[in-house]
Every structure is written in structure tokens, then in C-alpha cells.
A and B are shown apart, each in its own frame.
Chain A
């Protein structure tokens, strides 16, 4: 009877941990979305709101870390539970970095708003939506414990890198034709790089999901060997 009670409590703790991670992931999605909205609508008030919102993500990081450590210490989990909890600790670090990068984008928006707009920014929007899509898919894969979906996210990061490279070249071309645009191009390249790095953290998340589900470490592996 006692052991049954304990396992129910344990289940509840694991559920809380999963929910908190998902909520933190949701917050990151929201921060990226709002930062990009602030950029396209040239809305400095919204950008400041994003910068302010990073505190909540930092708080999430501390609280989730503590929760995970507490479960490790009191329950001494094994096998998939252990993999889930150790992965949560990494997950949190990646999510916190994603939050920081979104804040970085918002800061660049504050620099850009006083300057005249630089068109076209169309592909920046495409890069952002691709990164957001991948983050969403990685979180979905985590929830569904779906290693195949996570693998797809790892592969999709290649496209993020490719898009980032072309976009970067396009932005630099602005400066080549008109040196005066440099004050506007620099913050935009920084946005570009932030998005690309968010993409890298999303890839880490996806690799974590594969590890959690298959107990297989896929970090630093060529994609061709990743299938099974």
C-alpha cells in the first residue's frame, strides 16, 4: 500500500516536471513570436515587453532545475525515468538560451525602430517561421515521445542553416551597394544569427528527445546514420 502511494506521488512529480517544461517551451515560442512581431511592426513597446518577459523564463529555469534535482535525490529513478529527468536538465538550459536569443532580437528591434525601414525583409520572416515551426515540432515530439518526429527536426535544421547563409549574403549586399545602410544591416544580421542559433538549440532539444525515447545518443553524428 505504501509503495503504491509513493509511486502515485512519483507519477505526479514527473507530470509536473513535464508540464513545467512544456509551459517553458510555450513561453519561448511566445517570446520568439512577439520579438518577430515587434520587428515587422516596428513596435518598440512590444520589444520592451519581450525583454521584460525574459525574467519569467529565467525563473522557469531555476524552478525546473530544482524540481528535477529533487526528484533525482528523493526517488532515485532508473531507466527511461532517469533519462527523462537528466534530459530535462539539459532541455531547460537550451530553452533558457532560446529565451535569451529572443530577448536579443527584441533589443535589436529597439535599435532599428528609430531608423528608416530597410526592405525587403521577407526572407527573415521565412527564417523565423521555420525556426518557430521546428521548435513547435520538437516540443510536440517531446510530448508524444516520438523519436521519428525529433529526427525530422534534426534534419530540418539543415534548411535553417542554408536559409541563414543566403539571407546573410543578401544583407551584406546592401552594404556593398550603399555603405550608409550599415547601421541598419548590422542589427538585422544579428537577428539573423540569433534565429540560426535558436535553430541550433532546437536541434539539441530534438536530439534529447531521441535519447530519451531510444536510449541512443545521436549527438555529433552524420545525418545518414541517424535513421535507426
Chain B
């Protein structure tokens, strides 16, 4: 009986100890689990089954988080690598994602995630746009002055939207340049044709019997036919250059001798206008170029100079590092800033009435630019001091012989 009581007491004590130990272990485990969940510790200690399972869970969570982080950086890298702007907004029009290109286009900060898009980006058309059906496209002018093409798509599962912005500023500008060219070409061709037709009709109507009148009209016919021929030849040159069919044989070319040759081509014209021509080029200066192309370039620059100068046109050349800079200087009225950027465009005329009178085709400088650039050089125009313009070209220097 007593023995039984003793056994019972011992069992009770043993059970109490066991309970206390288990309680301690559980408390410690709870604390450690808390630390793991809160990222204060990597794993729980101890080799029991529960600990193993908790550690397995922690590992799973870690892997999941790493995968998520990887996905996120991947998404960010993809979004930022795009040249298109990407904006994702939620159902309440709050920003969820804004890539670099979109920030740049809209001139806003990256840190705007979570902010209301339409209160920060106040483009009225954009606000109206997202209520329209899917697959619509919108073209707007952004506050920065750039033009953007915007497409919208619904994000899956909720009421948000993905907006894709494409910068079409350059495309639109080129389109307008092309429209200008087409309009200019037809204008340039139409005016000599109109003169030729009118003169021919007048001759046929009886003017051919009046020698004085006839001579004047025929001279007009000839002049305008020549002009047409020049325009067509220039256009042909340009289209060959565009198509890359203009064969250039680049070699060592002596600048002075080519320039002297080009000068003789415009001498008659210069004499007529009372313009003096001169050159100042060191002997032995050589460039890597096609001799015929360089001649064409210089003739065009000289021709241009003779037309617009007051008293003289002169060509200077010198070495600048690995290159040679050739300048055609004049003392004419010069060019206003806004024209200076555009004179190399086809058919661009700073002073339309004057240049037509002078007989230009409007293509000469454009040909110069094309030729120089296809030989790896550069062109430009600067104001001359005290007056006039400096048209310069830069070509690679030819290696010295020997």
C-alpha cells in the first residue's frame, strides 16, 4: 500500500518535471520561432521533430522570398531597360509601377509609387483616355513638348491599367521634314516648268516673229531648262548618296591642287558678280577623301559663297589634330541663328526669293553634307568676323608619305 503510494508520488514528481521541461522547451521554441519569423535568427535550435519542421518552413519561406526578390529585380530591370514608358496604376488610379523611361517622359520622380497619377501628371487627355475601351491609342503632347503615343491595357484580375508610352517626337519631326521635301520638290520643279511653258506659248502665239521679243523668250527658255537640268542632276546625286550607290574612291588627296581646280569652275561666275576669289592652303596638306567628291564639295561651297558674298570668297585649310579643316569664308550678310541649323536640309532656303534669283537649286549644301559625312567627316557653319559666314568641313588627315 505504502509502496504503491511512493510509486504514485514518484510518478507524479516525474510527470511534473516532464511538464516543466516541456513547458520550458515550448517557451524557448516559441521565442526562437518568433526570432526566425522576425528575421532575428536564421533557424531554431534543437533536433526535435517540431524544430525540424519549423526549420523546413523557414527554408521554404526564405527560398520563396529570394525567388520573389529575383522576380522583382528582373521586372524592374526589364521595365527600366525598355525605351517605352511603362506606368501601372491600380483601380484607384494610384501608381504601382513607373519605369525610368516614363519618369523621363513625364518629368516626374521615381518615388511617386502609391501616389495618385492624375493629380501629379496633369494631362487631361490621359485622364479621359483610361475610361475608353481597351486597345485604344492616344497621341498627346507632353508638358515637356515631346509627343507621345499612349496605349492602354487592363491589368489582369483587378481594375488597374497598364499604360505604355512611346516617344514619337523624332518620327513626327521626320514626317514633317518629308512632307516639306515633297512640297518643296514640286514647287522647285513647277516654277521653271511654268516659265518654259509660258515662254513657249508666247512664242507660238506670234512672238517668234518679233526678233527682239523672241530672243528674250528663248533666253528665258534656255535658262530655265538649264535650271531644271541642274535640279534633276542634284536630286539624282542625292538619291544615289541616300541609296549608297555613289561610289567613292577614298585615297590621298592634295587639298591645294583640288581647291585650285574647283576655283576655276566658279571663276566666270565670280567675275560677273565682281567677287574676288583667293586661297590660303599650305603645300603638302592632304586628306583621305575621294578627289571628285572633294571637288564637288568645294565647287558647291564656292558657288554658294559667290552668290551671297559682298566682295570676296576665300578658302583656308589647316590641320586640326587628326583632321583637316577646310573653310569657305565670305563677307556677305551672314545667316541668322535659326537658319544656321537648317541650311544643310534639302531645299531649305534662308531667303527664298533671293536664292532663287541667284539660281540655286536648294540642294547644294545638302549634297555637301552627304558627301562629307560619307567620307567620315563633318560639316558646319559659323558666323564670320566681322561679317559673313564660314562654311567648314572636316575630313580625316591623310598619313604623311614615307
Measuring CB to CB, which residues of chain A are less than 8 angstroms from any residue of chain B? 12, 15, 18-20, 22-27, 29-30, 33, 56, 60, 139, 143
Contacts and interface: CB of A to CB of B under 8 A. Distances in A.
Contacts of A25: 122
Contact of A18 (B119, B128, B141): B119
Interface string B87-123: 0000011000000000000000000000010111011
Contacts of A18: 116, 119
B46 interface: no
Contacts of B93: 15, 19
Contacts of A15: 92-93, 116
B127 interface: yes
A5 B92 CA distance: 15
A139 B122 contact: yes
Interface string B123-144: 1100110000000000001010
Contacts of B141: 30
Contacts of A26: 122-124, 143
Interface string B197-235: 000000000000000000000000000000000000000
B92 A23 contact: no
Interface residues on B, range: 10 to 19
Given A15-B116, A26-B123, 15 more contacts: A12-B92, A15-B92, A19-B93, A19-B118, A19-B119, A22-B122, A23-B124, A23-B127, A26-B122, A27-B124, A29-B122, A33-B143, A56-B124, A60-B124, A143-B120
A19 B143 contact: no
B119 A143 contact: yes
A46 B359 CA distance: 34
Nearest to A18: B119
Main SS at interface, chain A: helix
Interface of B: 92-93, 116, 118-120, 122-124, 127-128, 141, 143
Contacts of A139: 122
Given A15-B92, A15-B116, A18-B116, A23 B143 contact: no
Contacts of A12: 92
Contact of A22 (B92, B118, B128, B143): B118
B143 A30 contact: yes
* Most chain B CB neighbours (cut-off 10 Å) among A20, A23, A33: A23
A33 B123 CA distance: 13
A20 B124 CA distance: 8
Nearest to A21: B119
Contacts of A56: 124
Nearest to B118: A19
A177 B92 CA distance: 60
Nearest to A26: B122
Nearest to B94: A15
A113 B352 CA distance: 19
A33 B122 CA distance: 14
A78 B127 CA distance: 28
Nearest to A140: B120
Contacts of B120: 143
A122 B131 CA distance: 42
A12 B93 CA distance: 10
30 contacts: A15-B92, A15-B93, A18-B119, A19-B93, A19-B116, A19-B118, A19-B127, A20-B127, A22-B118, A22-B119, A22-B122, A22-B127, A23-B118, A23-B122, A23-B123, A23-B127, A23-B128, A24-B124, A26-B122, A26-B123, A26-B124, A27-B124, A30-B141, A30-B143, A33-B143, A56-B124, A60-B124, A139-B122, A143-B116, A143-B120
